[in-house]
Amino acid sequence: LASLTHKMILMKSSMFRHTCFLSMLAPAAGFMSGSSPSSSSAASLLTTSSPLAFSRFSRVGGIDGSNYRRNLPTVRMIGSLFGDIFGEPSLISPEKALPGRSQKMPNISGLRHYVLGNDLEEVPEGYKVAIFANGCFWGSEKGIWRLPFGIHSTAVGYCAGFSPNPNYEEACSGLTGHTEGVRVVYDPSKISFVDILRWFWEAHDPASGMGQGNDRGTQYRSGFYYFDDDQRRLIEASKEVYEKQIGKKITTEIAAAADYEKYGGIWFFGEPYHQQYLSKPGSRPYCSAQPQGVSLAPFDSWAPEDLKEAYAPKLDEAFWKKYAPKRGCSVVQESNEPIAPGSW
């Protein structure tokens, strides 16, 4: 274990840049409790995400809310380090995933958006929902709540997995199949689905497989999940053109939200602690996303003809010229308040 740890330290000079740390110590907890590990067994634990390893770690003393919150300055590390050693992780199968629970995340009901002030759960009549994942959800969420109009609320949580009502540690372990995601409730009369979709593509590297930047693991995979056929067609059409623009094969997962009903649903809210995290006093300005600095091609050049009128962008090119995501995940340095309408 000491030798492996030393190797990991040598491979990463920055020890405090990753957040999924404690749950990835499952193998180490087993080692410390008397087992005799090998590198191959460690690799197996991390690439196949054994529920036994996770439950064993929990018994050994494990993970509780106060513990991981106390260690958040160090918590996105071990998973990435093991990923460097053992290669690209693979998504757990539904049969091997943790069983989950029936209880919903506590203290979400009635919780209001820290910046926008609206109830996180409500969807007003006529409003729409979009759900996507593009790396660590802290920065992903902030980029969307800052859009200048039409955003009722954003929330972070766990999407596209197989275990109902996971918590952070479980999702972080890779044992539930979830990816860190963002749920957007928006007014389509003020902002278009296409505006949100464009921000999604430009705010990360959609060709990075199971991870984003320094954050590696299935819980950081890129994904966009559609609620109707219009959304599906727009996601797929924009993917096709953006793939050509960036010159890399896009690995973004595109799936119907309805596909996850048999697993309890597409979306589960994250802990209140993580909601609008980057706007809160004392937060650490962390973001792992890797914007490519490539603007999505003009809407009219790729949108299906019959959707052009209904989904025309509300944000003009002047907005994107000034406020589009920049290389280096600059969103963490921006104001927490929404962009002022007309400021571009």
- Which residue numbers are catalytic? 136
In 61-183, which ranges are continuous DSSP H helix? 65-70, 78-86, 137-145, 168-173
How far is 174 from 20, CA to CA, in rounded Å?
10
DSSP state string for 163-227: SSS--HHHHHHTSS--EEEEEEEE-TTTS-HHHHHHHHHHTS-TT-SSEETTEESGGG--EEEES
How far is 287 from 279, CA to CA, in rounded Å?
13
How far is 11 from 31, CA to CA, in rounded Å?
21
Helix, strand, coil percent values for the chain (each to nearest 5):
40, 10, 50
How far is 193 from 309, CA to CA, in rounded Å?
12
DSSP state for residue 267 in the 8-state scheme: E
Phi (first) and psi of residue 185, to 5 degrees: -105, 120
Both tokens of 307, joined, read 């959707």
CB neighbour list of residue 198: distance below 8 Å, 6 or more residues apart: 238, 296, 313, 315, 320
238: helix, coil or strand?
helix
